[in-house]
Amino acid sequence: MRLVLAYPPQINNYYIPRPRGRYISPQGKSFRDLVYWSVREQDGAQGLTGRLRVTLHFTLPDKRRRDLDNVLKPLFDALGAAGVYEDDSQIDELHVTREIGKKPGKTVIDIEVIQ
């Protein structure tokens, strides 16, 4: 399955810490909704079970320095919320690449069930 999505928000912008836990920010909710509708528009598989191999290619929207690991959790949580898989703990293999400075920024995701 291949999905093309917007560039995800950083983990620092996705969650808001509060005294009783952390909550998804308005920016995080907007990204989650975008992923949900993008999955349905692109006829993305849903309810994948078993062990998964995920390949991600990020095209960053600008040349700012960024840590790739800061966008993984928001992306994986949004894919889970969209029903692509049950939980991101199913991911056994992960390959991540990036390309710097190509507006507007995007994410290409390939997900395979490992046999």
Contacts of 54 (CB under 8 A, 6+ apart): 91, 93, 94, 95, 109, 110, 111
- The whole-model pTM stands at 0.89
Class of 2-113 in CATH: alpha beta
The predicted pLDDT at position 66 comes to 86
The predicted pLDDT at position 54 comes to 97
Kindly list the domain boundaries of the chain, sorted by start residue. Answer: 2-113
| Separate counts of helices (H) and strands (E) for the chain | 3, 6
Closest CA to 100 of 56, 54, 57, 69: 57
The predicted pLDDT at position 44 comes to 67
Distance of alpha carbon 90 from alpha carbon 80, whole angstroms: 10
The predicted pLDDT at position 112 comes to 94
**Average pLDDT of each block of 10 consecutive residues along the chain (115 residues)?**
92 88 92 93 83 96 88 95 94 95 89 91
DSSP string, 71-112: HHHHHHHHHHHTTSBS-GGGEEEEEEEEE-S-TT-EEEEEEE
